[in-house]
Amino acid sequence: MNLLISIQSLFFCFSLVVARYSGDRKCYRAWVKSVDIEHEQAIVFFVDFGNESKVSFSDIYICPETVRKLPWLGVRVRLTSEKMTSEELTEFWKLTESHYIWIRINEILKDSYGVQIKIDYSVYLRHERLKMLTSKRLINKGVQV
């Protein structure tokens, strides 16, 4: 019973901790969203990356004060469909999924941010050009055969 009380006091919800990410086994700052005492794990939100994960209690540590004071590197941004159709929003996410996106916060509102987004399409355009060249080569090979 004492162990449960100490675990609850260390990892209470909405506390900033250092948690080990299972993808690379490195430690990152995280915000505890919920605690599952029975399974000895917590759901944490990695504040510098924007993803969340289930993490075992053994992989959660107290966040040092010096690390706690650093500004978060990630800001969660949600695009609304006020000016974009569902298809446009889907296409936007498809285009930007693994490409360079520059986001500037123009204003901080009560429960959201006003942002300006710029996308580096050069990676996308190179990929499209490569696809086009590859298909042309296949067509030319088909003609020669």
List the chain pLDDT tens, one digit each, 145 residues.
344 445 554 556 778 899 999 989 999 999 999 998 899 999 999 988 878 999 999 999 989 988 888 877 766 566 665 677 778 777 777 766 656 677 777 887 776 677 777 766 676 677 778 877 776 665 555 555 4
Kindly state the DSSP code that residue 99 receives in the 8-state scheme.
Answer: S
Which SS3 state, helix, strand or coil, does residue 90 take?
Answer: helix
* C-alpha to C-alpha distances, 29 to 67, 100, 105, nearest whole angstrom: 8, 23, 22
Instruction: Report the b/e string of 72-93 with b at 16+ CB within 10 A.
Output: eeeeeeeeeeeeeeeeeeeeee
Residue 44 main-chain phi, psi, to 5 deg: -120, 155
**Who contacts 8 (Cβ-Cβ below 8 Å, separation ≥6)?**
35, 37
Domains, the chain, ordered by start: 2-68 (2.30.30.140), 86-144 (no CATH)
